[in-house]
Structure 1
Amino acid sequence: MSIAKALSNAVSGLTATARGTETVAANLANAMTPGYARREMAVSAQTLGGSGGGVRIDGIARIVNASLMAEARSAEAARANAATLSTYASRMEEAIGIAGDPGSLGAALTGFETALQSAASRPDDEVRLAQAVDAADQLARVLNSASTEVQKSRSAADQAISRDVAALNVGLERVAYLNRRIAVIEAEGRDSSSLVDQRQRLVDDIAKIVPVQEVAREGGKIALFTKSGAVLLDGSRPAEISFTAAHEISADRTVGSGALSRIQFDGAELTESQMRLFSGGSLEANFTIRDELAPKLQNDLDALSFDLHQRLTDSTVDPTLTATSTGLFTDAGNRADATSIVGLAGRVKVNAAVRPGDGGQLWRMRAGTHAAAPGVTGDNSLLRAMTAALNKPSGALAGSDFEGVASLSGRFALVESRVSTIRVNAEAETAIRNGQADTISSRFMGDGVDSDAEMQKLLQYEQAYAANARVIQAVNDMMDQLLRI
């Protein structure tokens, strides 16, 4: 081997070890950086004139386990979905209350029944009659408050959908831009790894909103599809996704009535079945809250309110009532109608006729809601009849989620139980999804930068550098010897 060739081989070796050292340093520095993929230097033997000519750097390879990355994204989408539903369930349990808690629905009903019994023991005592009216007011307020919280949760979900769609559009636009930049850089033969890292982080964020499948395209580009096959990006421009948020949501505003929007995809609003194209992430969870879970709870509250209204608007309980007159509990001052009870829980109020602050008289709790005179002060028949009516087993309202016959307290307890069960199940699902996501994330991180392996490579590069440096030193000594001859 000639001196020139030996020198060329050593110089190429020094260049390769320097580049390899840079790669190791970058890997160690970015070991915990989200979206960063481990780099490996690819080298091959260089041939000059049919014989060995040193080492050639073929490029820097970005090492990613594509199947594990896809699994991690699906797990993060499931985590986001479960966390959103769990937050809603906890909020609703706080609004409805747990059986036995002082501020729960059941406690308010129990307080009203207790006040009626106390008033029945001394029907002439206006203090006890006032306590019964206050307890009725408290029961109405608890129902009003629960209904308000349900609608607030729907409004919050609607706004979250709007934010998710906006973030989805921004993310897809950025991915499309990076696709174009990466294609240009790779066409010029330059390293695009840093841009690919940015793109991976963007796709990771998109996958939390809606699970995606990533498909490689030529020129370093990628295409994105939802798990159910909707094309989010395949080419230079992403799909057009839009959503019209509602300014205010009430119980009667639903998707079915046309008052609320679904996703518009490429200019057309998706049908209920087509919404499955966007299932799996936080976006689907918010639609589930707005259009399924919260309306179902509102339906239960409305049915409870109507049951309460009907039990005390019966002429056999209060003889002063007619078929059209209002009872102790009203629909915003009117008699409730089974055909229009949507949102009744938010409107139920105590009849002004028994409220002194509204011009009513306390004695009507004893004599009858529409009584013209106080009657006999010791007559407790109406108070006892109202207590009995609340505890009497009765049939469920047609169209409600209640079945069979039950007392009012039984149905209140059933709603509390349903809400608590949903919360417990949601938290259990969240724990499972968190565990799965953390496990897969650990596997994915473990498949990335291994600091021990990188340090071993660094030692190998150090040894290779020293060996090539000795060759250059030997060539230098030989040249000195030749010059001295």
Structure 2
Amino acid sequence: MSLSSALNNAFTGLKANTRAAGVVSSNISNASNEAYGRRELGLSALSAGNLGGVNVASVIRHSDPALLADRMVSDARLAYSNDMFTFAQRLEDMVGESGTAGSLTDRVTAFENALLSAASNPSSTQRLELVATNARDLATTFNELSKEVQVSRQSADTAISLQVRDLNDAVSRLKDINEVIVKAKATGTETASILDERQAILNQISDIVPLRIVERDKGEISLFTRNGATLLDGMAFEVGFSTTGAIDASTTFANGSLKGLTLNGKAVSAADGGMFAGGSLASKFAIRDEAGVLRQSELDGMARDLIERLGPGGPDTTLAATAPGFFTDNGVAFVAASEAGIAGRISLNAMIEPASGGSWRIRDGLGAATMGEVGDASLIKGIADILGEQIAPSSGALSPVARSFVDHVSQFSSAMVGERVRSENAFIFQTAQNTTLKEMEFSKGVDTDQELQKLLQVEQYYTANAKVISTVDSLFERLLSI
């Protein structure tokens, strides 16, 4: 080997060592970055006449497409299960655990106990007032539960709009990145950094919908949902959605009051089996259009049952056929056609409101012209009895089996616990799966111990190349001095 060849080998080696040190440094500094792909220097022999040397051919970015795809699908499933668990848990907390103060079952029990107490001494104004107070509290609890359901539905509708915006923005950015990658491939420019940026964007939206990525010949990608909706394929497809200003119990997707998704102007579904099923976008639709509507209808069914038990045709024979009963629809008589949202409107009849001076009507009847016999507890007992009577509900939202009002409430409370348990189990499973996939992803990523060992090797190689240059320089000086 000539001195010139040795010098060229050492010089190209120094350049390669400098690049290698930069690659190792980048790997270590991004070890915890989920979007980062581990770098490795691609080297090749340099044939420059007879001088030889080493050439940095490329910087290789390592990734596992199959593992990434599984992890991103898991992201979407985890987001879905998290949203459904959060909704179920919030509603269970509002309903309250049976036997705890302020729970729905506790309100019913307190109302029943107040009736029994008043029946034992119907002349006591204080006990009659207690009946009115507990009845009002029961109605208020229904109001609050209904409000919580509608707030959750409204929040879901707003979140859908925000997620659609984020999805469209991300797809637009991915389209721009596709163009950059194609140009970079054509000019031989490194694409590792832009691929990291692309993966970061994919990670950001992977919880919104389950994604399927197809890489094309020139390095660009096409993006689809797992159920076949095209988001990006040469051109960016636009997902459309319009929010609704105010949502109440009568506002549903089924009756056309709420909007769904569109893809380039065509209606698509986010429900189970639909093109956008499986991620947090789908969970928002599930809460707004399915779970929330179901819970509201069940609350309405129980509120209607309570109103009708204590309304005309019930134990209070002083009530006219069209008069408001013990409980009203915001002060007026309830009609069956107005069942939707009644849980949010149920209220105690103003004639027997606490401190109104009309508590005697609980004993004598809402339609009574004057006070009756103060020792007569028959109406109070009749109210207590009919709450426990097995009656088939008029509402189609409740099971058609004849049950007492207490049984309806207990069944609803149990259903809330069961739904929370099911959604929690699904959430725990998806969390464990997602955590495992992320750990596998990291295990194939940057190993800082290995990178530090590489850095020590780079230092050794650098020293060796520098020593060769120094030696060649000394030899050239000796030759020139001859």
TM-score range (shorter-chain normalised) is over 0.9
Partner of 1:405 in structure 2? 402
Equivalent position SS for 2:236: coil
Distance 1:189 1:316 in 2: 86
Partner of 2:338 in structure 1? 340
The answer on 1:244 being equivalent to 2:258 is: no
The answer on 1:42 being equivalent to 2:39 is: no
Offset of residue 61 of structure 1:
0.8
How do 1:433-444 and structure 2 match up within 5 A?
433-444=430-441
Offset of residue 328 of structure 1:
0.6
Equivalent position SS for 2:207: helix
Partner of 1:432 in structure 2? 429
How do 1:156-235 and structure 2 match up within 5 A?
156-235=155-234
Distance 1:179 1:272 in 2: 27
Counterpart residue identity of residue 89, structure 1: A
Counterpart residue identity of residue 319, structure 1: T
Pick aligned residue for 2:294 from 293, 296, 312: 296
Offset of residue 462 of structure 1:
2.4
The answer on 1:396 being equivalent to 2:396 is: no
Counterpart residue identity of residue 13, structure 1: G
Which of 400-409 and 28-37 deviates more?
Answer: 400-409
Distance 2:270 2:48 in 1: 67
Pick aligned residue for 1:482 from 474, 479, 482: 479
Offset of residue 274 of structure 1:
8.9
Which of 169-178 and 271-280 deviates more?
Answer: 271-280
Distance 2:303 2:71 in 1: 46
Distance 1:101 1:405 in 2: 27
Equivalent position SS for 1:209: coil
Equivalent position SS for 1:47: coil
Counterpart residue identity of residue 297, structure 2: N
Q: Which runs of 5+ in 2 are unaligned?
A: none
The answer on 1:312 being equivalent to 2:310 is: yes
Distance 2:461 2:311 in 1: 94
2:149–2:296 contact (8 Å) kept in structure 1: yes
The answer on 1:376 being equivalent to 2:373 is: yes
Offset of residue 357 of structure 1:
5.8
The answer on 1:2 being equivalent to 2:2 is: yes
Which of 426-435 and 155-164 deviates more?
Answer: 426-435
Q: Deviations over 1:49-82 (max 9, x none)?
A: 4x67121211001111111111111121122111
Offset of residue 271 of structure 1:
4.9
Q: Deviations over 1:15-63 (max 9, x none)?
A: 11221111111111111123111101111122344x6712121100111
Counterpart residue identity of residue 320, structure 2: T
2:301–2:395 contact (8 Å) kept in structure 1: no
Distance 1:316 1:292 in 2: 34
Offset of residue 201 of structure 1:
0.5
Distance 2:106 2:131 in 1: 14
1:82–1:429 contact (8 Å) kept in structure 2: yes
Partner of 1:153 in structure 2? 152
Counterpart residue identity of residue 333, structure 2: R
Distance 1:52 1:435 in 2: 57
1:353–1:370 contact (8 Å) kept in structure 2: no
Compared with structure 1, are the counterparts of its residues 398 and 137 closer, same or farther at alpha carbon in structure 2 (3 Å cutoff)? closer
Offset of residue 130 of structure 1:
1.2
Equivalent position SS for 1:248: coil
- Runs of 4+ in structure 1 off by over 6 angstroms are 272-275
Which of 10-19 and 309-318 deviates more?
Answer: 309-318
Partner of 2:412 in structure 1? 415
Counterpart residue identity of residue 57, structure 1: V
Offset of residue 459 of structure 1:
2.4
Which of 86-95 and 200-209 deviates more?
Answer: 86-95
Equivalent position SS for 2:45: strand
1:37–1:197 contact (8 Å) kept in structure 2: yes
TM-score by length of 2: 0.96
Distance 1:271 1:294 in 2: 18
Compared with structure 1, are the counterparts of its residues 356 and 442 closer, same or farther at alpha carbon in structure 2 (3 Å cutoff)? closer
Distance 2:464 2:251 in 1: 77
Distance 2:152 2:24 in 1: 50
The answer on 1:70 being equivalent to 2:69 is: yes
Q: Which runs of 5+ in 1 are unaligned?
A: none
TM-score by length of 1: 0.95
Offset of residue 114 of structure 1:
0.9
Q: Deviations over 1:321-376 (max 9, x none)?
A: 23322211112223323333111101111112323666x72221111111112111
The answer on 1:110 being equivalent to 2:109 is: yes
1:176–1:238 contact (8 Å) kept in structure 2: yes
2:331–2:350 contact (8 Å) kept in structure 1: yes
Counterpart residue identity of residue 316, structure 2: D
Distance 1:316 1:102 in 2: 29
Which of 180-189 and 56-65 deviates more?
Answer: 180-189
Distance 1:445 1:356 in 2: 64
Distance 1:368 1:201 in 2: 69
Distance 2:418 2:95 in 1: 12
2:129–2:355 contact (8 Å) kept in structure 1: no
The answer on 1:253 being equivalent to 2:251 is: yes
Distance 1:273 1:471 in 2: 69
The answer on 1:80 being equivalent to 2:60 is: no
Compared with structure 1, are the counterparts of its residues 224 and 6 closer, same or farther at alpha carbon in structure 2 (3 Å cutoff)? same
Distance 2:314 2:177 in 1: 75
1:45–1:52 contact (8 Å) kept in structure 2: no
Compared with structure 1, are the counterparts of its residues 274 and 288 closer, same or farther at alpha carbon in structure 2 (3 Å cutoff)? closer
Compared with structure 1, are the counterparts of its residues 107 and 207 closer, same or farther at alpha carbon in structure 2 (3 Å cutoff)? same
Distance 2:7 2:95 in 1: 82
Counterpart residue identity of residue 38, structure 2: R
Distance 1:350 1:475 in 2: 102
What percentage of residue pairs aligned between the two structures are identical?
A: 38
Equivalent position SS for 1:53: coil
Counterpart residue identity of residue 450, structure 2: A
Counterpart residue identity of residue 76, structure 2: A
Offset of residue 473 of structure 1:
2.7
1:93–1:423 contact (8 Å) kept in structure 2: yes
Which of 459-468 and 205-214 deviates more?
Answer: 459-468
Equivalent position SS for 2:460: helix
